[in-house]
Structure 1
Amino acid sequence: MRRVRFVALGDSLTEGVGDPVPGGRRGWAALLAAGLAEEPVAFTNLARAGAQTRDVAERQLRAGLALRPDIVSVVVGVNDTLRRTFDLGAVAARLDTVYAEVTGRGALLLTACLPDPGAMLGLPGPLARPPARRQGAVNYVVHALSDRYGAVHLHACEGDWTTDPAMWSADRLHPGERGHRQLALRFHALLAERGDATGPAPAPETEFQAPSRSASLWWLATAGTGWVARRCTDLLPQLLALAADELRHHARGTSARLDLRASAAVSAALAALPTAERPEAV
């Protein structure tokens, strides 16, 4: 009997950043794989830190489908929102292509909407609202397309886990081991309800000791500083301009226009998808 084949696509969240184990990283997808069936699952993690929807559509997808998977997770989009080149229409088109290819091959698709990175980083209001609108728009697109393609969708942007410091690593952008376990548990519960996960649910308790405060500070001063520097040269100038626009609208009492603009962008992105039956934004 052929083993269940599970392929994970996406960015650093799925790669396992925040969940270090001896010899590398683990992450929620690997934890989930161990409970998908009673027999060992053939699991391949193709997710890479920094990946955007373009990377998944143009590189990871082909490699993943070549493995003839039964289950494919596609969790990506945050890195798109943190670029000055953010284009919601392009994000929607890539996700539509990826989801269609996965389900067209008969694989079960797993998706998730994600927390707002600005809120996770604790940015002040005017700086936090623009990335929040972007992530909200991406989440809406993911919701709509997940419904269209019959995906098993996890509302990872909701719940107490997003505000519980014990769930998150030092950078506040990636879950720690406890957070990765929470994601794996929630996905497992959704799959078990459908009869698509027959193995034991991942344990919620951590296996490894959390990094010490000094180790966390060292990470922030090395890898974390590099991440901030790259975002400052890319997104920060645009983010400051968007924040200034937020303040102007707030002063005029017209902030609702920005929300309407974001809603219109979602509607346009979904309407532009090349299919006859499109999900509609509301």
Structure 2
Amino acid sequence: MRPPLFVALGDSLTEGVGDRTGGGWRGWAALLAPSLCAGPVRFTNLAESGAQTRDVLERQLPAALALRPDLVSVVVGVNDTLRRTFDIRDVAARLDQVYAACTGQGALLLTACLPDPGGMLGLPGALARPLARRQRAVNTVVHALSDRYGAAHLHACEGDWTGDRAMWSADRLHPGEPGHRQLAVRFHALLTERGAATGPAPSPEPDSPAPTRWESLCWLATAGTGWVARRCTDLLPQLLSLAADEIRHRARGTTVRLDLRTTTAVSAALAALSTGERRPGAA
């Protein structure tokens, strides 16, 4: 009998950014893999920094399906919210196709909802709230589709860990080693409840010292600044427009209209999937 195969799809979170070991990144998925059973486990990480739902659908998914995995994690969507082209209907359509393809091969699906990037970065309210709406929209879609496809779903946007600064790396967007270990422990608990993990839980204790303040500042001044710039440049003009809209509605006391607009868009996106409607360009 072949050892089980775990394939991880997604963006920098799953790639392991924030949990450096040796000459590269490790991350929660690599920490989780050895704990799936008492024997050997095969593990392939296809996640890439900066990946959006389109990248997962068009590049990572075909490679994953060719391997015929037993367990597939799909954690993606934050980078979509940081783009001016963000459309929740496109995100929903792509995720639906990815989930359907993985479960269609008999793989167990592992998913998660995530904290909003504006809140984690500590942006001013007028800038943070539009990003928070986008991330809530993505999380709502992920919740609904995870239920539809029987995924083991982690509510990673909830819990005290999101506000614990010790869990996060210098950029405040990616977990540090303690945060990645926390994710691995929580994913393992979910899979154990499903009977899909039989090995001992990953250790929550870091095996490397936390980066010094100087090391963190150096990272932010070099790689970290580049990381943020590459992902947010095309969003900035639109984000300023969204912030201005936020301020106007707040002054009029009509912020609820913005929330309602997002809720309506999410409902329409999920309804379109139920009727088989495909957004142009979704894939």
Kindly state the Cα deviation for residue 242 of structure 1 after the two structures are TM-superposed: 0.3
Q: 1:176 to 1:256 in 2, by over 3 A?
A: same
SS of the residue 2:169 aligns to: coil
Find the counterpart in structure 1 of residue 116 from structure 2: 116
Would you say 1:188 and 2:181 are equivalent positions?
Answer: no
2:177 corresponds in structure 1 to 177
The residue aligned with 1:55 is: 55
5 Å-filtered alignment, 1:85-234, equals 85-234=85-234
Amino acid at match of 2:100: A
Deviations 1:180-239 (A, max 9, x none): 000000010011111110001000100111111111111100111213333453111111
Which range moved further: 139-148 or 20-29? Answer: 20-29
| CA–CA separation in structure 2 for the residues paired with 1:115 and 1:234 | 21
Q: Which moved more, 1:224-233 or 1:22-31?
A: 224-233
- For 1:39-96, what per-residue CA distance to the aligned partner results, in whole angstroms no more than 9, with x for missing partners? 1100000000000000000000000111110000000000000001101100000000
TM-score by length of 1: 0.96
Aligned to 1:80: 80
For each residue in 1:158-179, what CA deviation from the matched residue of structure 2 results, as whole angstroms up to 9, or x when unmatched? 0000000010000000000000
What is the TM-score when the length of structure 2 is the normalising length? 0.96
Look up the equivalent residue of 2:226 and give its one-letter code: G
Match of 1:238 in 2: 238
Which residue identity lines up with residue 253 of structure 2 in the other structure? G
Q: Secondary structure at the match of 1:175?
A: coil
Measure the CA separation in 1 of the matches of 2:101 and 2:20: 32
> C-alpha displacement at 1:120, in angstroms?
0.1
1:115-154: CA deviation from partner (whole Å, max 9, x where unpaired): 0100000011111000000000000000000000000000
The answer (yes or no) to whether the contact 2:38–2:198 under 8 Å persists in 1 is: yes
Q: Measure how far apart 1:24 and its partner are.
A: 1.3
- Show structure 1 runs of 5+ residues with no match: 277-282
Aligned to 2:64: 64
Partners of 1:274 and 1:154 lie apart in 2 by 24
Q: CA RMSD in A?
A: 1.0
1:18 match: secondary structure: coil
Structure 2 Cα separation of the partners of residues 228 and 235 of structure 1: 11
Match of 2:249 in 1: 249
- Work out the CA distance in 2 between the residues paired with 1:222 and 1:7: 31
Question: Secondary structure, in 3 states, of the residue corresponding to 1:59?
Answer: helix
Q: Name the SS for the 1:69 alignment partner.
A: coil
Determine the C-alpha separation between the residues in 1 that align with 2:148 and 2:226.
39
Aligned residue identity for 1:221: A
Aligned residue in 2 for 1:279: none
**Conserved in 1, the CA contact under 8 Å of 2:50 and 2:231?**
no
Whole-angstrom distance in 2 between the partners of 1:228 and 1:22: 24
Amino acid of the structure 2 residue aligned with 1:243: A
> Which residue does 1:265 correspond to in 2?
265
Q: 2:35 is paired with a residue of what secondary structure? A: coil
Structure 1 residue runs of 4 or more that deviate by more than 3 Å after TM superposition: none
CA distance, structure 1, for counterparts of residue 266 and residue 79 of structure 2: 18
Alignment partners' CA distance in 1, 2:232 and 2:6: 36
